[in-house]
Chain A
Amino acid sequence: MESFSIEYLGLIPLFPLLAFVIIALVTRPLKRLSAYLSILAVFASLLVSAWALYSLVIAFLSHASGEALVKELTVTWFSVGGVALPAGLILDPLTAMMLIVVTIVSFLVQVYSQGYMHDDPGYSKYFAFISLFTTSMLILVMANNFLQLYIGWELVGLCSYLLIGFWYHKPEAAAAAKKAFLTTRLGDLGLLVGILIIYFTTHSFGFAEIEHEIKVGALSGGLLTVAMVCVFLGAVGKSAQFPLHVWLPDAMEGPTPVSALIHAATMVAAGVYLVARTFEMFAASPDQQALLVVAYVGGFTAIFAASMGLVMNDIKKVMAYSTISQLGYMMMGLGVGAYAAGVFHLFNHAFFKALLFLGSGSVIHAVHDQDMRNMGGLGGKLKITFVTMLFASLALAGIPPFSGFWSKDEILAGAFEKDTLLYIIGAVAAFFTAFYIFRAMFMTFTGKYRGAPAHDSHGSAGGHGHDSVHASASPEDELRAKVKEHASGHGEHGIHESPWVMTVPLILLAIPSLLSGLLGSPFMGMAFQSFIEKGAEVHEELNYTVMMSSIAIAVAGILLSSLVYYFKIIPANLISRPLPWLHAFVLNKYAMDDLYGWIVNSVVLGASRAALWFDQYVVDGIVNGVANLVGAAGGALRKVETGQIPNYGLAIFAGAVVISAVLIISGSTL
């Protein structure tokens, strides 16, 4: 590693931070320049990240292992009294892998955005936000302590908020932004409590020190489990795991490249990263209870979200539920102790899911609609989009040799050894996955184009109208509507493949969708897993039963999907017709939004109303009562025209008297 000094790591977030500052302060009016600046900055970060990774890989290949693959730099952020807060950087295989994923996806998404956001009035602002997001995400993954991680954690949340609500003209976008921020904050609260518990027992924020303290028993038993479950709560919010998953589908209101970067490849994976980063702490909990929680929440999320993916008609919503479900897989992998497999899936998923989102964006760009019922037959028109998305779909469905197969299979193998129930859940979810993604592919790219000839085509069903891009009136949308009218004048002949700035990133992402899984395949001796495990030898017994059944499940899912949506031998409403309530229930996201809406309205706002009422009537009322008793004083003051003064004044005295009475009485009984 002598060629790469850990200090250089600080450069990686610095480039996009500079880009953000320069765009915000200087180049804002020059939109082209802003975009180039932002792209150049993240490319510079990509180069430094690649260098960092290269130095580790070289060391790894020369059989360095364990601590030789970890470099840390710690300085004191501030130190007061007994409290010393550290700031520090870590470079180990996990961080190096995350750095590469974040910078590559961010780079490709930004290149793509030049086309997608072409006419947006907020073009410069968009790139500024993306740069800020990239900075924050990089800070998050290179932190060697909880505090810094938490700061990055909150910053990515903030950027996500700004970017979900980027098209502020749409009330849905603003509402979705707020929902995302508040829901994830709920998880963050748990994370903060977890960090505090850890800090007060181990007196440290640093990951390495905490692991050491846990080993020597400073934090153990039930409290450790509680602390780690609290930490996991943060991951549940960020990675949209059940029951805090509700924000992610709504977050699709943001521009599609944002969904690809933040809500598919990087930020939502931060929760998985957090669990991976603190894996030793989770594993140290008694009977690995904390890991069990992770496994079951992940497993349930995987199948729960996949079931919703089966019925969605909005192409981006399908991808959103797919992301939730896949994140659930990663959690399940970590939870069953298949640490490297979970991280491996994060790695593979980042590329193929980013590709699926960017591909969807390309489709939306072409037809100006997000409803798959209005698509069809686009494979011939959007050849590059179709082929690249097909790669990603095969990866997601788990067909070898595409990337997703290797990591998903390994997670399933891990589950199979640990817990049969989790394996069954995972296998069924895998079947759902293959089914829904090919349902989306068939509906979009095969058959006949079903786009309505009239430009107003989104009235066919309630509930999805607001999802379609042209439902509101941003300048960009108006332009799209115009193009759409033009397109519909020619029928489907007006549909064109996206410009090269959009298709090149698709092609570049298709490469890892095909190949990245091979890094961790038996053909390469599970090199990826061995690297992530800091050079430990990985001798995974290949479980051919699991492997063969994984392939069979994926093929079955695709096959059934083709029978329904391609060959149309099986009617699509085979299940929904006899069981309309079930279909409606799943389509309504298991009514979880309604439930939360009710909770927020009746509990939080209710408490607020109650507090206000209490303030106005009870405190005032008691005081009024006292005022009537002490008629003379009240009467005299009441002559002042502002009626509340006597009440407020009496509150002071009544408060003091009541408090004194309580203190004196409770004191005398002690």
Chain B
Amino acid sequence: MNLNLLLPEISLCVLAVVLIVIDLLLPQGRKSILGYIALVGLAFPAVFTLSLAGVQQVSFSGALVVDQVSVFFKLLFLIAAALVILSSFDYTRRLSILQGEYYALVLFATSGMMLMASTRELISIYIALEFTSITLYVLAASIRNDAKSSEAGLKYLLLGALSSGALLYGMALTFGLTGSTVLNDIASALAQRGISAAAVLGLVFIAAGFGFKIATVPFHMWAPDVYEGAPTPITAFLSVASKAAGFALVLRVFLTAFEPAEKTWLPLFMVLAAVTMTLGNFVAIRQTNIKRMLAYSSIAHAGYVLTGLAAATAGATSGMLVYLLAYTLTNLGAFIAIIAFSGQVGSDQIEDYNGLSRRAPVVSLGLAICLLSLAGVPPMAGFISKVYLFAAVFDAAAKNSGLYYLVVIALLNSAVSIFYYLRVVKAMYFGPAATEESLHTAFSLRVALSAAVAGVLIVGIYPTPVMQAASVAAQVLFH
């Protein structure tokens, strides 16, 4: 046992408890200080996580692993948490959300995601996942007097519980067949005994449980409803951090435990990737609500990321990590802009974005940059990460020619996607504004948006450090 390895998670939980205590002591009307404490407090887990960079250690009877992959994901979660907290300052005040619980839950969820990225044992995986999910169910419903938010929370809870059932069923089957819950032991047992039908069943049900988290077809249906109803910062959190955490699990479980069954799941993920991105993109075209549009867009992006798993090489995994980081920054930026607009305009309908570039030029520019990045237009991060990922998948096509088609489908899809992203840009820049009155955006939101957009541009123009980190991390999974 080495508690040092758990310091990022522990510090987050302590911070969350401290927030709840301070919340009790603060008089009504002074609660907004909680957000600042949460934001500044993130420095602790950040420092602890950075201090673990380069460490390669397994502890807690093989349940916990700290390696480059987990550190990469933990930093990604911290970036997401920081931007979500920063963009919640204005939002929670406006919708009178209970701030103490809200920020504490965000921190708990973050520590849960960190655990998801750090476990290599089925029971801990399940616990980490449930820990994260339960906090997110509550957060989705946290606008108390809003029926849509409550509905989102309830839906998420019920469907999440069902998917957990599927996951547990798969885990039980796998344990029954291999006699172990530790991923490496499962791998050696499977390699020894071969892949039976029951093993396939176990594998698929585990994939279904994770598929729910990352919202791939056909486990995606909750996403648009929950994204639309949840508080927008939480929607952003769900669409990036929670999805990335799901991918952390998928990577670790499939590249280690189910590595012997590669022949079974490679075609599975190839088909899932193609179907997911295509359905996500085409349905997104017809959305009129921007949050729903981005929900389908995020489904499509899950499909893009899955192409890396369908290739299952170190290069493609590195591509997935870079893509996830670029997507995290970009999607957060887009959602922060949406928070800013909905706060002023009071609507998430795309038609209400008409002429916003004249009313809020800076926020519009930020949103436009993020949307173009999502569409994969250079020089934004979305472009270079797509090049990096798809190039790696294309490289792997030498041993699996189906990947050629997958890359072509992915490229066609990203061409289609520009259609709906551009619709918002067009509305903002060329649409007739109902009024020309300029909008005031809260300072915290402007800071958050600038940070996200700066990230999008920096990763887009100078991606070397991120790619290097991802490349080193990906190697870990291919030993």
Contact = CB atoms under 8 A, between A and B. Distances in A.
B179 to A, nearest CB: 21
A182 B419 contact: yes
B430 A645 contact: no
A418 B468 CA distance: 51
Nearest to A158: B377
B222 interface: yes
Main secondary structure of the interface of A (DSSP, over half): helix
A611 B208 contact: no
A193 B285 contact: no
B408 A193 contact: yes
A622 B179 CA distance: 36
B195 A660 contact: no
A615 interface: yes
A659 B219 contact: no
B201 interface: yes
Given A154-B378, A607-B282, A79 B204 contact: no
Main secondary structure of the interface of B (DSSP, over half): helix
Nearest to B224: A615
A642 B155 contact: yes
Given A83-B391, A651-B219, A659-B268, A193 B467 contact: no
A569 to B, nearest CB: 47
Interface string B404-425: 0001100110011011001000
Contact of A155 (B207, B285, B378, B467): B378
A648 B222 contact: yes
Contact of A182 (B391, B422, B429): B422
A637 B416 CA distance: 37
A78 B411 contact: no
Which of B221, B318, B378, B426 has the most C-beta atoms of chain A within 10 angstroms of its own C-beta? B221
B388 interface: yes
Interface in A157-198: 158, 162, 165, 168-169, 173-174, 177-178, 181-182, 185-186, 189, 192-193, 196
Contacts of B268: 659, 663
A619 B221 CA distance: 10
B474 to A, nearest CB: 9
Contact of B208 (A155, A193, A655): A655
Given A196-B394, A660-B205, A174 B431 contact: yes
Given A78-B463, A652-B166, A83 B415 contact: no
B56 interface: no
A594 B200 CA distance: 51
Nearest to A147: B387
B372 A158 contact: yes
B447 interface: no
A199 B430 CA distance: 38
A482 B205 CA distance: 72
Contacts of B418: 181-182, 185
A653 B430 contact: no
Interface stretch (B90-98, B156-164, B245-253): B156-164
Contacts of B176: none
B467 A80 contact: yes
B286 A604 contact: no
Contact of B416 (A604, A619, A660): A604
Contacts of A654: 218
Nearest to B315: A81
A452 B438 CA distance: 41
Q: How many A residues touch the partner, as a band?
A: 35 or more
Nearest to A81: B471
B342 to A, nearest CB: 23
A189 B418 CA distance: 12
A268 B387 CA distance: 25
Interface in A594-619: 604-605, 607-612, 614-615, 619
Contacts of A158: 372, 377
Interface in A639-670: 640, 642, 644-645, 647-649, 651-656, 659-660, 663-664, 667-668
Interface in A416-441: none
A605 B201 CA distance: 37
A155 B457 CA distance: 14
B197 interface: yes
A359 B407 CA distance: 47
Contacts of A174: 426, 430-431
A609 B282 CA distance: 8
Contacts of A83: 315, 388, 391-392
A660 B200 contact: yes
Interface in A130-169: 147, 150-151, 154-155, 158, 162, 165, 168-169
A81 B318 contact: yes
Contact of B205 (A79, A147, A656): A656
Contacts of B412: 189
Nearest to B314: A81
Given A609-B286, A655-B208, A150 B471 contact: no
A437 B157 CA distance: 70
Contact of B468 (A80, A147, A186, A607): A80
Contacts, number: 164
Contact of B283 (A181, A615, A668): A615
Contacts of B468: 80
B37 interface: no
Given A174-B426, A656-B166, A664-B197, A611 B377 contact: no
B87 interface: no
B101 interface: no
A494 to B, nearest CB: 32
A189 B279 contact: no
Nearest to A605: B285
A78 B204 contact: no
B195 A667 contact: yes
B453 to A, nearest CB: 14
A177 B219 contact: no
B212 interface: yes
A649 B159 contact: yes
Contacts of A655: 208, 211, 218-219
A590 interface: no
Interface string A55-82: 0000000000000000000000111111
A615 B162 contact: no
A450 B378 CA distance: 49
B39 interface: no
A608 B200 contact: no
A199 B391 contact: yes
B264 interface: yes
Contacts of B343: none
Contacts of B208: 652-653, 655-656, 659
A200 interface: yes
Contact of B462 (A78, A82, A147, A659): A78
A648 B159 contact: yes
B286 A612 contact: yes
B348 interface: no
Contacts of B314: 81
B154 interface: yes
Contact of B431 (A168, A615, A619, A659): A168
Interface in B310-327: 314-315, 318
Given A81-B471, A162-B429, A651-B218, A664 B200 contact: yes
A193 B411 CA distance: 8
A178 B464 contact: no
Interface in B350-405: 355, 372, 377-379, 383, 387-388, 390-392, 394-395
B264 A667 contact: yes
A663 B197 CA distance: 9
A155 B379 contact: yes
Contacts of A649: 158-159, 162
The 5 A-B residue pairs with the shortest CB-CB distance in the complex, in nearest-first order: A174-B430, A78-B464, A611-B282, A655-B218, A168-B430
7 contacts: A177-B426, A181-B422, A611-B282, A637-B158, A660-B204, A663-B264, A664-B200
Given A642-B151, A659-B207, 8 more contacts: A147-B387, A151-B383, A165-B426, A640-B158, A645-B159, A652-B163, A652-B166, A668-B197
